[in-house]
């Protein structure tokens, strides 16, 4: 992976930093529908109990290009906790701290 400097600019979907690397989001985050191993999934908890859900968004690694000169692609993941039965808008969550990132 080669690194290029990029101009400081505003990106339509924003950027996030994870483990010292900046990722430029290329779409809005969406639900992943991933089920977790423990009793923290929506269908496993009663009304008023907390459950965990995951969001993800495609991204590119800021300033990085692959051997073909293309941006290095990644997927950024966030995990959030929600109380079943309470309504929270998705834009109220803190997307500045991803849970993990997969780089391709």
Residue (of 27, 5, 19, 20) closest to 73 by Cα position: 27
d(CA 81, CA 74): 24
Helix then strand count (H, E) for the chain reads 0, 7
pTM: 0.86
Distance (Å, whole) CA 32 – CA 28:
12
Task: Show pLDDT as tens, one digit a residue, over the chain (104 residues).
Answer: 333 334 445 689 999 999 999 999 999 999 999 999 888 999 999 999 999 999 999 999 999 999 999 999 999 999 999 999 999 999 999 999 999 999 99
| Nearest residue to 59 (alpha-carbon basis) of 34, 28, 97 | 28
């Amino acid at each position: 992976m080669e690194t290029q400097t990029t101009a400081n600019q505003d990106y339509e979907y924003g950027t996030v930093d994870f483990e010292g690397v900046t990722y430029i989001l290329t779409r809005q985050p969406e639900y992943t529908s991933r089920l977790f191993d423990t009793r923290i999934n929506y269908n496993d908890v009663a009304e008023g109990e907390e459950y965990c859900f995951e969001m993800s968004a495609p991204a590119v690694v800021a300033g990085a290009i692959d051997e073909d000169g293309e941006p290095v692609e990644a997927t950024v993941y966030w995990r959030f906790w929600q109380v079943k039965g309470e309504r929270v808008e998705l834009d109220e969550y803190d997307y500045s701290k991803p849970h993990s990132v997969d780089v391709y």
